[in-house]
Structure 1
């Protein structure tokens, strides 16, 4: 059993510590099934059983780390860990002191296990493909168990495992236009899958029309939850970070100084109640189940790591070292799904965005491109798809004075990254209508 093997390895490492040495040990592990589809056919399939450990050794205000595989075989893992400790003991004394090094402290112990109801591995193809057999359906299905664990020299220990799946797909027209969709969770929902495919089919039929050229300027715009999720990723790039604020780079510093506010319709929080991501960070600290960040347009908290708190004399709130969002939620509004086009009236309907970047982070200005199934709407009716546009606008506008309405429903947009390991979590967001969204190309 992997948990027992991890716990035994932790005890072995603790027993080898020398006076004044401290350590942290983190585990990323997964047992995943991957299937890649193209033209509604299976092009690649396989399973991954993988685990990796990161061991950080701290001594005399210095630290360094080693990463090595986790096999679950105690003898093998113990030998690898011993070799890593020996190398770290040679390396750490040669490094400069870190005045803001945070040592593990506290007595937190936790265990979370979230069993899901996934499609049986041998039934994935027969479940997914019948509904899309007549379409150019391309995408990746990933599912299985993901484990995150932590232990340290002061006795803190955490275990988190969850069953989850994600389906990231695109439907293509004959001339290469595409509609994108995602579906994710811990329990497979056949009805939700059928509904999502039918919605994508409807958008795909509209994509066959000739695209309407759009001149640069400002347009009333609806941004679907997937587009909102892309905007939210920018807040983890020095946006909601306390360290970024202290160094003069945060987009929310103007709010912190009391110079600006967002719309009272806008509320953002970290919400771990879904159990999709672990609450512990790389120091074993536990984040609150819910942490308000922006409440009714007012900034109430920024993500503050222990290192930032130590450097600037503040109080940490369980944030990771990178002070990025882990389980963000934007609260919904009161706009019904069936009223979106009518309320939009005339303007642009954006299903997705990509290639986002800060064009001026201190003023909250973000640039990016429209992507997949974006349309021109007139008098509440979709008229034609649009060619790709570049936008450049400030969050103080689209989440501020220009925010017209948020939908009364939310969608979970998963983090589908698989670089090194399958990522957890995502963004829970509504759609929104904004006035005068700015397009530059």
Structure 2
């Protein structure tokens, strides 16, 4: 999207808000959230382009609040003022007709404050016509399957109290798998705001090495406890579980949190485990659904101790807490786990004998009150002996507690981190991701 187009969208959004302020009745308050993008989507299969195209999309969510009630509409946003105002005004009238019929909301969060922000993150993406040839050049002889999504994404917010935020970022993700003739695969993700060809070439080179290792005879392991190295992508999968009944203050108050024993100081994680929200990378907006700004950094677990939960304004109102800018679901938006001391070249020697796990899937809580998570290994997972990869393994199901693998059994974290991006495209292209190191764990429990 060109600078002129972005400017037009911003002007149109601002004009929409100004007009809503003029039309607002004295007893009414409102919020407006904008999500817009211009993205290129290209799907690859067998190292050929199977589908490609450009999507220009935008929608706004208008929420009307009056007399402790609220109602909302989601409507298209084109950037054309005349069209957008007609649709928005019709939605406003419909909301007014319906709102008195709705129940009272005792914890309704009304717009307050005058926070404003404007962030524009420009990148160096591949030109649209260069995406396919650039990606396929390094994999033309491989059974390569993947999905590229790249372009500009806009998130914005404004409300009747005067808060206004504008966030624009250029970004791309390439989510891919490379298969061997036996159907085994190496999975990878390449993402960022600037396309670095040498870095992409290095990722593919590493994937080819793992693909060669997958050609060895598969080793079937019995259930049991094994020393395990988890690559950053696998660590990110485990960390994601904390957004589902973990770091939320509401979940803690309602007895649904896996971190309740940590909160009560009945349990402790390893002193080398440190988790924080870090918005300073600029990959995701700091403002939430109410226009509130999270701190640039918020420590959550420091040296194995829970120091903060995520608290949004509804939860704060219900449980007499202080909000800290969390979103509606009190989930992690910009999580980062601090690195440790394990160097890349020492991963296999330190592992010595055990499992090298590149990816996980099918994760779920098996016993949330005790922090137990179940899931399966997936893609390029290997058995290691004497510090050397011996064979790929058959998929294993695991079931273990975060109080073990991030606690007493955590041996070390790598001294490097990887950014594992969000790759979802449902309704719109997702922003953000997880910054994590790899980790080395003893006695990790595999059940099937």
Instruction: Report the TM range for the smaller structure's normalisation.
Output: over 0.9
TM-superposed deviation, 1:85: 0.9
1:139-178 paired onto structure 2 within 5 Å: 139-178=146-185
Tell me, yes or no, if structure 1 residue 93 matches structure 2 residue 100.
yes
* Selected match of 2:212 from 205, 220, 237: 205
Which residue of structure 2 lines up, in the alignment, with residue 59 of structure 1? 66
CA distance in structure 1 between the partners assigned to 2:381 and 2:144 by the alignment: 19
Which residue of structure 1 lines up, in the alignment, with residue 341 of structure 2? 334
Which residue of structure 2 lines up, in the alignment, with residue 415 of structure 1? 422
Which residue of structure 2 lines up, in the alignment, with residue 262 of structure 1? 269
CA distance in structure 1 between the partners assigned to 2:337 and 2:401 by the alignment: 18
Tell me the number of residue pairs that the alignment of Structure 1 and Structure 2 aligns: 441
Tell me, yes or no, if structure 1 residue 105 matches structure 2 residue 133.
no
Which residue of structure 2 lines up, in the alignment, with residue 433 of structure 1? 440
CA distance in structure 2 between the partners assigned to 1:93 and 1:226 by the alignment: 48
CA distance in structure 2 between the partners assigned to 1:361 and 1:164 by the alignment: 35
TM-score by length of 2: 0.98
CA distance in structure 2 between the partners assigned to 1:234 and 1:254 by the alignment: 16
1:11-410 paired onto structure 2 within 5 Å: 11-410=18-417
RMSD after superposition: 0.6
Deviations 1:280-317 (A, max 9, x none): 00000000000000001010000000000000000000
TM-superposed deviation, 1:193: 0.4
Structure 2 residues not aligned, in runs of 5+: 1-7
Task: Describe the SS at the equivalent of 1:234.
Answer: helix
TM-superposed deviation, 1:239: 0.8
CA distance in structure 2 between the partners assigned to 1:221 and 1:184 by the alignment: 26
TM-superposed deviation, 1:270: 0.3
TM-superposed deviation, 1:42: 0.6
Deviations 1:157-181 (A, max 9, x none): 0000000011100000011100000
TM-superposed deviation, 1:14: 1.3
TM-score by length of 1: 0.99
Task: Describe the SS at the equivalent of 1:171.
Answer: strand
CA distance in structure 2 between the partners assigned to 1:187 and 1:296 by the alignment: 34
CA distance in structure 1 between the partners assigned to 2:93 and 2:121 by the alignment: 37
CA distance in structure 2 between the partners assigned to 1:258 and 1:235 by the alignment: 18
Which residue of structure 2 lines up, in the alignment, with residue 7 of structure 1? 14
Deviations 1:3-53 (A, max 9, x none): 001101111111111111101000010000111111111110000000010
TM-superposed deviation, 1:255: 1.1
CA distance in structure 1 between the partners assigned to 2:85 and 2:185 by the alignment: 50
Tell me, yes or no, if structure 1 residue 424 matches structure 2 residue 431.
yes
TM-superposed deviation, 1:120: 1.0
Deviations 1:362-417 (A, max 9, x none): 11111101100000001101000001111010000000000001000000001000
CA distance in structure 2 between the partners assigned to 1:122 and 1:113 by the alignment: 24
CA distance in structure 1 between the partners assigned to 2:84 and 2:52 by the alignment: 29
